[in-house]
Amino acid sequence: DTGVSQDPRHKITKRGQNVTFRCDPISEHNRLYWYRQTLGQGPEFLTYFQNEAQLEKSRLLSDRFSAERPKGSFSTLEIQRTEQGDSAMYLCASSLSTGGGNTIYFGEGSWLTVV
């Protein structure tokens, strides 16, 4: 499968613990996005990378959240000191930067449950 892959698919953690999600984008894609989706809502933008540079962060991304893309390939999203409100699906997506329109391809998401 050459789509966007995410790991783990499901994570249950106790409040206060740290969690890390990994995303492997489509191999030739230089743009990578993280979104968060809660039940009954559309995905909300969290952050965006072009190659290894993190170019935009949403105000939703509190200082407990950190994302990296060290070599411009895979990315990680870490949540420190998790809270129950962090329970959501974390979606990774990737695309090419073609100047004009570009299609964003999504992974299957990582479900986080904070208990």
Partner 1 sequence: AQSVSQHNHHVILSEAASLELGCNYSYGGTVNLFWYVQYPGQHLQLLLKYFSGDPLVKGIKGFEAEFIKSKFSFNLRKPSVQWSDTAEYFCAVSRTGNTGKLIFGQGTTLQVKP
The site for partner 1 (CB under 8 A) is made up of: 3-4, 31, 33, 40-45, 48, 50, 55-56, 91, 95, 97, 99-109
At closest approach, how far in Å is the CB of 34 from partner 1?
Answer: 11
Beta carbon of residue 15, minimum distance to partner 1 (angstroms, whole number): 27
Closer to partner 1 by Cβ: residue 11 or 31:
31
In whole angstroms, the minimum distance from the beta carbon of 43 to partner 1 comes to: 5
In order of 10, 32, 62, the CA distances from 13 in angstroms are: 10, 26, 19
The residue whose two tokens read 């992974």 is 107
